[in-house]
Amino acid sequence: MEKNIINTPAAPAPIGPYNQAVQSGDFLFISGQICIDPASGDLKNKDIAEETHQVMHNLKAILQAAGMSFNNVVKTTIFITDMKRFAEINEVYGKYFAENFPARETVQVSALPKFVSVEISMIAAK
C-alpha cells in the first residue's frame, strides 16, 4: 500500500525519527503533537489552556497540509500527566469540533516529551 509523508512548516518539526503524519489510502495518521510553537520552537505552556490550544493548532496545520480538517478526524488519543486537569483540557479540545466528535481515549502517563502536560495524536479519514 502506498503511503504519503506529510510534513509542514506550519507545525513543529519532529523531534525524533518520525514524520508529522503519514497518509495511507483515505486515512491520515498524525503523530502525537505537543505545545511547540512552530515559528519560534518555544513551548507554549504558561497554563494548561494555552498548552492545549497550541497542540490543537499544530494538529490543525497538519490536517490542512493533507487537505483535511477536524471534521475528518475519526479517532484521537490524548495523553496527559495529571488526570485532575482532564476537564480543563477537554474544554479546550471540544472547541475545535463542530459536531460528530471522534472516538477518543484519554490516558494518564508519568511523563511526556519536553515534560509537557498534554500530547494528542489523531487519525483522520477522507
* 94-108 pLDDT per residue, tens: 999 988 899 999 999
How many distinct structural domains can be found in the chain? 1
pTM recorded for the entire structure = 0.96
Over residues 103-121, mean pLDDT: 97
* pLDDT on residue 88: 97
Check which CATH number belongs to the domain holding 13 and give it: 3.30.1330.40
Over residues 24-45, mean pLDDT: 97
- Give the structural domain span for 14: 3-125
**Residue 36: which pLDDT band, with cuts at 50, 70 and 90?**
very high
* pLDDT on residue 33: 98
> What single string gives the DSSP state of each residue in 15-58?
SSSS-SEEEETTEEEEEEE-SB-TTT--B--SSHHHHHHHHHHH
* pLDDT on residue 98: 86
Whether 1 shows a pLDDT value over 80: the answer reads no
